[in-house]
Structure 1
């Protein structure tokens, strides 16, 4: 998943408008506390699930045993796939149903039913794109086996709901009830599970933000400057995933737009602002990305492959993943599962992990699967091919808590829905821009510019078939057959098996565009030559490699393949600083152990350090030793962004100030530098051009600044900022005090009510790493140093001995704040530690601390 991707795969992190609870909640909580602390404790602990003894689960054919270890990680044992997936639905509901329920409200565009008008803008965007409508269509495309799996899973969820009152499902429902919300969760359906795939695809949709950024950056800048701010991928410095390759006879073979008018820019900037109303289910921003790599037995101390994966997603409480094992007591045609790994609550099966024969990991491929089109719209018609054509129109009714229903009119061109319709600002700007065009004698649409969205995820696909097929695959051909069903979001898949094979496969539905339209900028929708061809890159032509000669595969969102590849995937790759560091670490050892792989995942080398520090140390002209004290720290810095490092703290603050001084005067606030991989590349190039106009401060008309002026001021400003934030003594600085990991509940954690936030949130973890670092704890240089994204989990699989594998979750398996497993993995995660990943029956039984038997008997 790349730092330019908006990512694989949940959590609800940056909500554009905090969902706030009414003052009635405060009164309600006061009454509860007055009634007694014991009562409050009971209310909070009431939803904790039963984890021992026996419990009825109607619909089972045979008993399912649930073994939980000291961290509450469940392993399920049954006699049929149907029983196992029914039990998985039950266990997910036990631990995470509120999270599941909020997710389905988001993906259905129904958040306002729970949270009122503050969530209406989000609902309008989701309804306009029609996520749930697409999911309903996808249900009919799935195999019978996948349909049965989804139905069994839903039945397990619903069995849990039928056995528990709302207040016993999650404490969040009790809190919402105190505000006057009379709510009972609806039954779970297969479509609820499928709709979640739309949220994953949205966050990992590719370069849509970059399309807008290029146009917005053109305001006040010429094309040369815009190109410098969006540099191409340098495959000479940072190797692609697959070394060479072309397409012959339809199979991949390895070799070892619109003018940038101010009016268009205004419309697109408003659309971009509006799209931020959509909750970032997985996170958002430059910090998003993922690492995965696999090494062969020849490079492994075990003699068999080792595979590592750590998806970098948004941070929240609870974390996106729930660890689980699904095991058949005996493998039969009706019972095929023996899989363990990381699951999404709300979705059956395991998304990332291993079975008895193979292991796999994901990072986001990041292909360009979205395009924005500027449309000339007049009323309910639009211009296309020189003619006015009718828009497709439908009506959506959105129920709003404590307010009247909102009637939404959704309009679409052949390219997709008009997302500008749900942004009043964009609509008014578009109308004003058209009026200005007419005043200046320029051609303009009568009703103003509109913006439509073409996106592969809005076309139904059988992606859900891929997940269970991967869970059951036992060989490279079977794994590739499963991957061929993975339409959206497109991912980089790494693979290893117990036979000693390693591999890489790029799946996904990637559109083929007409010549002259590369998707890097919004296109003129009225010109048919800008349409997609209607065809997609064939699966067999997508990059793939089995057992590469160098003995390893690294994917960290860098370019997949070189420029000789005949199909256009994207130009907006991650720039490869993480991937190149991982390659360096792999090549530094002849034989890698499991511990080596784990240590690599927490490597904190800041690639910008060796680039920038020499220029900083050459500076002169400082007025005092005080101003140079920060620079003195950098002389011996090892370039590691360690939590306890004084030098890392100073360097990252200096980096943020450098970006502010160099670029804020050149760019609109919406596209100020966030500090990730692209900005490493931009500044690297500018350092070699000390008189470039971007170094000049446009607000100082009588002075022309050059590179060293900006660097010197960044040194001074960073020293002053560290003094204000931490201490006048550099020896007392630390990166972790600035770079904090705050885990915030997905909805009520931003209520503004202290007692609620203290109950639900877990904040203040001091952590190392940073943006474009292997330990990718991303932060936004245009805002603050707080962690915005992080490795959502870490895993290392040993194909020589699966019980020798390691894993860790960002939070814990439970979504209940009263549970001991709410954040019982977080401190270990922050420290870079991992847990034993037991998957064999003997190992799981030895580690089990709780046993629950789910039985068909009432």
Structure 2
């Protein structure tokens, strides 16, 4: 027995030693790819030395004698900190994820190939101006210099993920940066899905008034009634179980609820306590670890520029120079149209046009798949755009037999000069110049908010398609692709894009709200991203005669929900303070406790309070009860509450109260009945998920920000090292927006919000501040992987200064790149 015990002890010790050794080896190999920020390197392609100074937040301040050398330095810095992220962005745009991840990402690759994003990025190189081409080429050389250093010095393949997935990285090319821009346009697009959903709702609800309830227009002058979709496309199926979007976190195809959002506002000198202009901007994108944003400062010949960049692109997308500040918000310009194309019944290789049948433009594309045979697909294009499969956003649900769906989209231009426009903006010295140089911006369309030392302005940039006034669906639903009046007639002139310069009130801003009311076809859009946050923003802006940097920060971090304040009195009107006290332990008693909490609540979506969770669960259950009998399975795809719909139903606007009656039941239910039943539903869910003690609930426990690693986030044990989870305030309709997931076992997880925040004060530019949601590094062993995360959660910022001496004062490293001899 002693002998056996001795050998078991030896075996256990040996296994322990091997385990420790394996862990040590893995750590050593992974740590090899951590960059050394204190280094002097001799690199090819430079004309003069470049200095990359890292401040104590690891923000690179890049100095060089020529602009090309500075962009070279930015490419090198991006590759040092975000190489894996850049690899994934490029592979996604190219439709080459399956080479690394196998069949799991095959559908993503198929769709990207059909959209043809990367070849169109390559074609767009020819139309960039000379300065942009030099910047793109220099940036690519900087990235490749880092790749050469990794290979020559055996630096762990540049990122731990490269070991885990065996993803070799080809040299970076100038077209790769243009492809990243198009990929961002894809992630911000939502009109395709909006058209399909409206068409499907139209098929389920042929009453136009009910369509306007569940898919309401933003407040303002009404829109002329549209024909039913069944009349536009006869023969469309009324029921279709389409395939869901690929759930892989690398998929760039986002649901409409996450199609892009942002906040930006500005104050003129007469509305600023300091006498200078103010600008605040927080673009909203899906959360990830690392965040999509990377902070950087570039010292160009035109002056210093600092702000948020996206790895893969040599552009400061939101930020400031010494003379100009700029911020971006999604404009919701209707830049996508879905077409139903009729096939030739005698030859399915042809489709109908206004001039008869025409052959598809076709091309075969081979997708290599890891651990599987290559897959060959045939890409098809019509005059309107690429042909997409019926599974994509449930296009098959609105496509009759003998037809296919195609997509017209501005981002598919082969003459996309967006990067050239963005680089010119970085050198602009005034608001007027900033507006002028942005004319070349194509997609994604954005609202560009600008401030210089005296003026403020907002201009919608990006192409607005020109539509015929006789367009059958006004671009709101898929239309017949063979009718000339439905086809695009080119582009609107840049002067037609909404523009607001030096407003009399001295304050302007955008929360993705409706900006203009114009008759079709000059309408800009029928789909807007916000009807609620703008109400709170208006109040905060008008509550003060003058604003400061701190008041702009306060507005950015505001967590009061206008939707909660306006809806709770409606849905609870007949429930509060009615009836006798119910016995302890009964559902009625729990309902009374919940109502008592909500009655004293201010509408603040604070992470430490129970009321936001009770309210949000109630609204979610209420909308589900109102729509599921009319829409059936389609109701499951409407994942987020629409406050305007709830308000219309409870105010019985144009008869919308009919939604409260359950069609399948004999009694006629009132809206008060539905509110009571929905509250009981919500409390049952809360009890099962969080327990019965309502007073001890915390909104932040349900509303965790999920900064998850896109490919390692689900790996057991490793996920605890690579994912960043935080209790957060805010919600779907607060200025500090934390868009909830809407589905699954954790429907209130915070998955989409401000990955970047910046506030710029031009009375004292060096007092400007910014922050990102995770950290500068994409390497999970780096201390800069998550060092900004808690600052971001607490609503804190770091300095945004162009003073090199301030950056040097607490620098974490200085990298000098010398021209190779």
TM-score (norm 1): 0.86
**Contact kept in structure 1, 2:196 and 2:394, CA below 8 Å:** no
CA shift, 1:493, in A, is: 0.6
| Alpha-carbon distance between aligned partners in 1 of 2:372 and 2:251, rounded to the nearest angstrom | 25
Q: Does 1:230 align with 2:215?
A: yes
Corresponding residue to 1:458 among 412, 418, 421: 412
Distance 1:101 1:284, change over 3 A: same
Quick one: distance in 2 between partners of 1:571 and 1:425? 21
Q: What does residue range 174-213 of structure 1 map to in structure 2 within 5 Å?
A: 174-177=163-166, 183-213=167-197
Matched, 1:846 2:817: no
**Structure 2 counterpart of 1:762, from 724, 727, 742:** 724
**What is the CA distance between 1:565 and its match in structure 2?**
8.5
Give the match for residue 821 of structure 1.
784
Q: 2:684 and 2:190 mapped to 1: Cα distance? A: 38
Q: Which runs of 5+ in 1 are unaligned?
A: 1-28, 178-182, 238-256, 329-334, 435-447
1:722 to 2:686 alignment:
yes
CA drift of 1:842 comes to 2.6
1:504 aligns with 2:466: no
Q: Deviations over 1:435-480 (max 9, x none)?
A: xxxxxxxxxxxxx221111111112221110111011111123212
1:107 equivalent to 2:93? Answer: yes
Which residue matches 1:795? 758
Deviation, 1:425, is 8.9
Alpha-carbon separation, structure 1, partners of 2:238 and 2:574: 41
* Superposed displacement of residue 123, structure 1: 0.7
Look up the match of 2:819: 856
2:683 paired with 1:697:
no
Tell me whether 1:638 sits opposite 2:610 in the alignment. Answer: no
Selected match of 1:340 from 296, 306, 312: 306
**Is the 2:200–2:398 contact (alpha carbons within 8 Å) kept by the matching residues of 1?**
no
CA RMSD of aligned residues (A): 2.6
1:121–1:277 Cα contact (<8 Å) kept: no
> Given the superposition, is the C-alpha separation of residues 304 and 826 from structure 1 closer, same or farther in structure 2, using an over 3 Å criterion?
same
Q: Following the alignment from structure 2 to structure 1, what is the Cα–Cα distance between the partners of residues 632 and 338?
A: 20
Structure 2 SS opposite 1:807 = strand
Structure 1: distance between partners of 2:186 and 2:278? 31
Shift of 1:53: 3.0
Which residue of 703, 718, 728 corresponds with 1:739?
703
Q: Which residue of 1 aligns with 2:483?
A: 527
Matches within 5 A, 1:762-781: 762-763=724-725, 765-781=726-742
Alignment of 1:127-526 (within 5 A): 127-165=113-151, 167-177=156-166, 183-222=167-206, 223-235=208-220, 259=231, 264=236, 270=242, 273-274=244-245, 279-281=250-252, 284-287=255-258, 288-328=260-300, 335-378=301-344, 379-385=348-354, 387-420=356-389, 434=401, 448-460=402-414, 461-498=416-453, 500-517=454-471, 518-526=474-482
* CA displacement at 1:64 relative to structure 2: 1.4
* Residues 565 and 602 in structure 2, CA contact (< 8 A), matched pair in contact too: no
Equivalent-residue separation in structure 2 for 1:349 and 1:529 (angstroms): 39
CA drift at 1:190:
0.5
Q: Is the 8 A contact 2:31 2:156 kept in 1?
A: no
Residue 374 (structure 1) shift: 1.0
Looking at structure 1, the residues matched to 16 and 134 of structure 2 have their Cα atoms a distance apart, in angstroms, of: 47
Q: Deviations over 1:111-135 (max 9, x none)?
A: 1111111111111111111001110
Tell me which moved more, 684-693 or 771-780. Answer: 684-693
1:296 Cα offset (Å): 0.8
CA drift of 1:184 comes to 2.4
Judged with a 3 Å threshold, the aligned counterparts in structure 2 of structure 1 residues 259 and 830 are, in CA distance, closer, same or farther, namely farther
Aligned-residue offset at 1:196: 0.7
In structure 2, distance between residues paired with 1:413 and 1:565: 25
CA positional deviation for 1:664:
2.3
Per-residue CA distance 1:574-607 (angstroms, 9 max, x = gap): 3431122112101111221111111111111112
Matched, 1:59 2:45: yes
How far is the alpha carbon of 1:422 from its aligned partner?
Answer: 7.4
Cα deviation, residue 667, structure 1: 2.2
Rounded Cα–Cα distance in structure 2 between residues aligned with 1:127 and 1:267: 28
The 1-side partners of 2:442 and 2:613 are apart by 42
Equivalent-residue separation in structure 1 for 2:325 and 2:17 (angstroms): 52
Picking from 532, 543, 548, the partner of 1:577 is: 532
Deviation at 1:510, TM superposition (A): 0.8
Secondary structure of the 1:121 match is: helix
Is it true that 1:84 corresponds to 2:51 in the alignment? Answer: no
Q: Residue 306 of structure 2 aligns to a residue in which SS?
A: strand
Q: 1:265 to 1:66 in 2, by over 3 A?
A: farther
Q: CA deviation at 1:555?
A: 0.8
Q: Conserved in 2, the CA contact under 8 Å of 1:312 and 1:790?
A: yes
Q: Give 2:5's aligned residue.
A: none
SS in 2 for 1:511: coil
1:554 alignment counterpart: 509
Contact kept, 8 Å, 1:493 with 1:506, in 2: the verdict is yes
**Alignment CA distance shift 1:661-1:73 (3 Å):** same
Of residues 560, 566, 571, the one that matches 1:605 is 560
The DSSP-based 3-state class of the residue aligned with 2:466 is strand
- Residue equivalent to 2:8: none
Shift, 1:755, TM fit = 2.8
Separation (CA, whole Å) in 2 of partners of 1:83 and 1:151: 10
What is the DSSP-based 3-state SS (H/G/I as helix, E as strand, rest coil) of the residue aligned with 2:408?
A: strand
Write the deviation string for residues 796-823 of structure 1: whole angstroms up to 9, x where unpaired. Answer: 0011111100111011110000011111
Which range moved further: 289-298 or 723-732?
A: 723-732
Quickly say closer, same or farther: Cα 1:584–1:44, change in 2 above 3 A: same
The range that moved more, 563-572 or 372-381, is 563-572
Contact 2:513–2:528 (8 Å) recurs in 1: yes
| Structure 1 residues 227-285: Cα deviation after superposition (integer angstroms, max 9, x where no partner) | 22222221389xxxxxxxxxxxxxxxxxxx663779535698738x4587895549544
User: Kindly tell me: are residues 831 and 392 of structure 1, through their superposed partners in 2, closer, same or farther at Cα, counting changes over 3 Å?
Assistant: same
Q: C-alpha distance in 2, partners of 1:798/1:662?
A: 47
Contact 1:267/1:426 (CA < 8 Å) preserved in 2?
no
Q: Equivalents in 2 of 1:668, 1:375: separation in Å?
A: 28
Q: Distance in 1 between matches of 2:39 and 2:132?
A: 31
Indicate conservation of the 8 Å contact 2:338/2:479, yes or no.
Answer: yes
Q: Secondary structure at the match of 2:296?
A: strand
**Residues 33 and 419 of structure 1: is their aligned pair in 2 closer, same or farther, counting only changes over 3 Å?**
farther
CA contact under 8 A between 2:232 and 2:480: conserved in structure 1?
Answer: no
CA distance in 1, matches of 2:66, 2:408: 41
**Distance of aligned partners of 1:430 and 1:795 in 2 relative to their CA distance in 1, 3 Å threshold:** closer
Q: Which deviates more, 836-845 or 503-512?
A: 836-845
**3-state SS in 1 of match to 2:440:** coil
Secondary structure in 2 aligned to 1:127? helix
Separation in structure 2 between the aligned mates of residue 675 and residue 381 of structure 1, nearest angstrom: 38
SS at match of 1:754: coil
Query: What SS does the aligned partner of 1:755 have?
Result: coil
Q: Structure 1 459/267 Cα, relative in aligned 2: closer, same or farther at 3 Å?
A: farther
Q: What is the deviation of 1:98?
A: 0.7
Residue by residue over 1:811-845, the C-alpha shift from the partner in whole angstroms, topping out at 9 and shown as x without a partner, is 11100000111111111111111112222223222
- CA-to-partner distance for each residue in 1:711-755, whole Å, 9 max, x for gaps? 0011212222222222322220111011111211122323xx313
Please report how far the alpha carbon of residue 635 of structure 1 lies from its aligned counterpart in structure 2 after TM superposition. Answer: 1.2
**Cα offsets for 1:299-344 (capped at 9, x unmatched):** 111100110000111011110100000114xxxxxx3341000001
